[in-house]
Amino acid sequence: MRTVKLKNGKTIPALGMGTWNIGDSGARRADEIASLQAGIEAGMTVVDTAEMYGNGRSETLVGEAIADLRDDVYLVSKVTPSNASYEGVQKHCRASLKRLGTDRLDLYLLHWRSGVPLSETVRGMEQLQADGLIEDWGVSNFDVDDMDELDGISDGCVANQVLYNLEHRGVEFDLLGEDREREVVTMAYSPLGQDGELLTNPAMREVAKRHETSAGPASAAQIALAWVLRQENVLAIPKTGSIKHLRENALATEIELSQDDLKTLDAAFPSPKRKMSLAMI
Ligand code: NAP
């Protein structure tokens, strides 16, 4: 498994799992738990959730899935901006821990910028760290100017989780490089494009046809993930509630894209030529 290095020296797998929309359906619950457990077994041990997902239902399901696997998992959750005051962060982190059935998070993120002064949220995060409830903290949906502001407050942020896939390449213009210079890991969310459109693009299919994995012909999903993972310092967190898709996603790390592949993909999804404001889902 490829890895990324956090600024505290810890290395974690570059391919993890997202959990948005997981835990919402009783009918899918068993499959969702099984696919998370299979992913952890396959080495995709970074599990990303948030208090906002299904109003805590995603965290509850993750808690069930990792009950016997907690020490194998790098567990990430997020505080909703409206809860990101100093007191709010203390209270909401504890509520997340309860749903997750654990006494600590490996990483706690501010989900996006809030009306609360950033310095107050950071103070809340640092208190949680001092109390041993979180190992590290980070941010999400922070653009270059937000990261600049954060620089003036603290150098404790270890990760910035942002939308990054072939359809949304704006961060390549500046943010990706700047995060790398700060030793802040970029966590790429929606790496598969979320709604399925990216995976049906003819360029994706053409590139997929040129590759094989140990389980057979490559898929467009594997190309989408290999493309995100071609960058050092970038961690991808695809979501799936299906064992079949999970096994497919896990094998994406076997694929090395060639210069020809990158040219084909660049032609279909051009890289940014100017600053673009950060896209968000
Ligand atoms: P995504 O991972 O790009 O795509 C998920 C979709 O792809 C699901 O419909 C899934 O369906 C499907 N899929 C998964 N593997 C597949 C495969 N091999 N072949 C075909 N389809 C496949 O989108 P996302 O859930 O938006 O993003 C991933 C994670 O990032 C989220 O779950 C969440 O943890 C995080 N996120 C964070 C933010 C933020 O603001 N920080 C925003 C959005 C997302 P199946 O379940 O049926 O496989």
Which residue's alpha carbon is nearest to atom 46 within ligand 1?
240
CA of 190 to the centre of ligand 1 (A): 5
pLDDT average per 10 residues of sequence, the chain (281 residues)? 94 98 95 98 98 98 98 98 98 98 98 96 98 98 98 97 98 97 98 96 98 97 98 96 98 97 98 95 94
Which residue's alpha carbon is nearest to atom 17 within ligand 1?
245
CA of 123 to the centre of ligand 1 (A): 31
Q: Which of 15, 17, 20, 110 to mutate to test the pocket of ligand 1 (most atoms within 8 A of CB)?
A: 20
- Give the per-residue pLDDT at 51: 98
- Give the per-residue pLDDT at 114: 87
Torsions phi, psi for 205 (to 5 deg): -65, -40
**Is the separation of the CB atoms in 235 and 261 below 8 Å?**
no
Q: Which of 189, 198, 244, 248 to mutate to test the pocket of ligand 1 (most atoms within 8 A of CB)?
A: 189
Residue 186 in contact with ligand 1 by CB distance below 6 A: no
Its sign, for the CA torsion 28, 30, 34, 37, is positive
Q: Residue 140 CA: which ligand 1 atom is closest? A: 41
- Give the per-residue pLDDT at 1: 82
DSSP label at 182?
A: T
CA of 193 to the centre of ligand 1 (A): 7
Residue 160 in contact with ligand 1 by CB distance below 6 A: no
- Give the per-residue pLDDT at 242: 97
Which residue's alpha carbon is nearest to atom 25 within ligand 1?
239
- Give the per-residue pLDDT at 88: 98
Q: Which of 204, 229, 240, 244 to mutate to test the pocket of ligand 1 (most atoms within 8 A of CB)?
A: 240
The CA distance from 185 to 233, in Å, is: 5
CA of 119 to the centre of ligand 1 (A): 31
The CA distance from 202 to 159, in Å, is: 33
Query: Long-range CB contacts (< 8 A, 24+ apart) of 147-154?
Result: 147/175, 147/178, 147/179, 147/182, 147/184, 149/118, 150/118, 150/122, 151/182, 153/118, 153/119, 153/122, 154/122, 154/126
CA of 117 to the centre of ligand 1 (A): 30
- Give the per-residue pLDDT at 57: 98
Strands (DSSP E) contained in the chain are 3-5, 11-13, 17-18, 46-48, 74-79, 105-110, 134-140, 157-163, 185-189, 212-213, 216-217, 234-236
The CA distance from 213 to 248, in Å, is: 9
Q: Which of 15, 111, 239, 251 to mutate to test the pocket of ligand 1 (most atoms within 8 A of CB)?
A: 239
pTM reported for the whole predicted model: 0.98
Q: Residue 19 CA: which ligand 1 atom is closest? A: 32
The 3-state DSSP composition of the chain as helix, strand, coil percent (nearest 5) reads 45, 20, 40
Q: Report the phi/psi class of residue 69: left, alpha or beta, with left for phi > 0 and alpha for psi in -120 to 50.
A: alpha
Q: Residue 224 CA: which ligand 1 atom is closest? A: 3
SS3 of 66-121: CCCCHHHCEEEEEECHHHCCHHHHHHHHHHHHHHHCCCCEEEEEECCCCCCCHHHH
